[in-house]
Structure 1
Amino acid sequence: MAAPTWVAVPDDSPFGVHNLPYGVFTTADRPQERRIGVAIGDHVLDAGAAARAAGAGTAGPEAGLLTAPTLNPLLTAGRSAWTAVRSLITAWLTDEAHRAAVEPHLLPRDSVTLHLAFDVADYVDFYASEHHATNVGRIFRPDGEPLPPNWKHLPIGYHGRSGTIVVSGTPVVRPNGQRRGAGLSAPSFGPCERLDFEAELGFVVGGPTAQGEPVPLAEAEEHVFGVCLLNDWSARDIQAWETVPLGPFLGKSFATSVSPWIVPLDALSAARVDPPPHDVGIQPYLDDRDTGTPPRGLDIAVEVRLRGEVVSRPPFSTMYWTYAQMLTHMTVNGASLRAGDLFASGTVSGPKREQRGALIELTWNGEEPLVLADGTKRTFLEDGDELVISATAPGPDGTRIGFGEVAGRVVAGPVLV
């Protein structure tokens, strides 16, 4: 059972003491000073200040990792430090002996400005939902097999652009690019006409590795620090023209939004479930059944709101490939990990129409417009549209773990000729 906390936390708060997600914030009186914070109820704990206030007798050397302006030093420190720091913060917020020292460093959550919590090193996006991949395959290959022949043998992914990963709330500028209309032999150039979202989870990596040293499945938890929400904005018309033969490029690289809160993997023990079974043989290095670890599937309920209206509720528990399989495949060729690496799950979609995690599926590539409550229709996103993704997962003793939100509003971009 989760320890009680002396902090006044609403009973239904998704940020209870069993969660304790990490973020980076500033305050109006110190706008240039970025500080690591931990969400608890309706407050943010200034973790560095709390570490200093707790004193040398209660805060070991791990607490010094909390005084940095980003999470990267903590990510570099590895699993043992992550466990120790989480234990320290839990003690500060549950033991009355620490209350007098720590309580002054609790700030109202609505009084702080949240920032990107870590400096992103490399970014990889996967394609791990069988339902999403099958739907997209049926849209573009209606007379053929929906899944490519390699899909069930390995987690398909591509390398994205880390420099355009932005925190929730950052406007998303409609990109320019080449696109070829149906029936036309030559492309045109201009603003994207088929802008889409993709509801995903992101996995934040720490515990760097040396080049040439793959990470086996059994060691995945040594390198996955936590989970965030992610929106892989997609220019479908630009993407369709450029993808063959080398895959996504400008159709994806203009913006990727992430939530400001990183939920520690340790907070998700009650959310672990068995992933869907594999119905074809896979290589032993990807066989996740007998690694002696808890299940790597995650029971995370995602919700997508367009212009304030819920349009989809994708279940992450249906994802065919697990975070451990993604990480292992990402490194099996010897590619090294760096603190701050981020890999994404790919669009989360379920078997039902209302569980599809992108407009390309919800509207069947624009053929079946989405009708909103006010009567307006959407095939793809229009300027001014705001897209908000949130998620929760089971916590201990019937509680819920919250991930916060990742939000972005589409704005018109420059028109190039």
Structure 2
Amino acid sequence: MKRKLRMGMIGGGNNAFIGAIHRLAANMDGLIELSCGAFSSNPDTAKASGQSLLLPDNRVYTSYEDMIMNERSLSETERMDFVSIVTPNHAHIGPALMALDNGFHVVIEKPMTFTLDEAKQLQQKVKETGLTLALTHTYAGYPMVKQAREMVKSGALGKVRKIYVEYPQGWLSQLSEKEGNAQAAWRTDPKRSGKSGCMGDIGTHAAHLAEYVSGLTITQLCADLNIVVEGRALDDDGAVLLRFNNGATGVLMASQVAAGEENALKLRIYGEKGGIEWHQMEPNTLLVKWLDQPTQVYRAGQSYLSSFAKFNTRTPGGHPEGYIEAFANIYKAFALTLDAKISGNVPTAEMLDFPGVDEGVRGMAFIENVVASSQSSQKWTSFNI
């Protein structure tokens, strides 16, 4: 790269959890710099956030509309290259469409939009503009997730037969949204989060991980969603039976009322010859279990790993890399892809290996279909997009 890519941020002001994560991740590999931002709909918060990030006053905006239009008017050597949208779900589609219409690439939080119809609209806009959109399904960025995907893809495990993915958290075990917890307040609010709480927030991660690593797509499902904590407006727990396009079956569990759990995402995939097992809270390890051999322990940072795992590893074996690094891997691949396109080069397969708008559409379809299935008396429903 001849220069750093310039990033503008929408949302993510002072005390916003995910905005700080995005900035750390974008900065990790020295490929991106934060150049401007519309950090809050509150003008005072927006300005204070820009000041705390040491941005010049004229690059701190009080609305995303002002930011996009002003940045467009700047010279090519000054204006931002892309926007990172880290607002609550209901505030994704407006800035994403406007950014693309004005020539800016997009990084966006998941779920990608508020509704499936919005997701399809955004998908069409990406196709029309030819610009690039990255979706931050963080867990796809871990090196050992990449290794698992390559092993399944190579046929090492044989035909996939069974997929189990579970995502238990405990942070919503009480009615935290009524106790001043801002994160809980918007994530459990149908007007800001959408028609699903737990399944929209973390179930989409689990579904994406199952499809990403297996290379399969969900074709049918049977869902049961629950509101466990009295007084809550959206689901905080659920389970889904899955059928995939090769005939494999699976089970997805997501819960935010599993008291005592932190972020215990776990994936198991079984084929004819063996299986893989990966835990997000022990991310440097991949267990590979064989039908007729002892279990193997694959570790990040080793020479025997695939090029995709190595591309997403920064440190030697034994030096743990975690959530921020996985997040940064999405930004790195996105940045290198943009730079290659800007330079007239062809991005490598490793660069292009990040979630995009198509995965965003499938995520919104997952939410819509799970909610519909849970409300239906029918045992199995088709996965419709």
TM-score scaled by length of structure 1: 0.23
Q: Which has the larger radius of gyration?
A: 1
Q: Which has the higher contact order (CA 8 A, sep 6+)?
A: 1
Q: Which has the higher strand share?
A: 1
TM-score scaled by length of structure 2: 0.25
Q: Which has the higher helix share?
A: 2
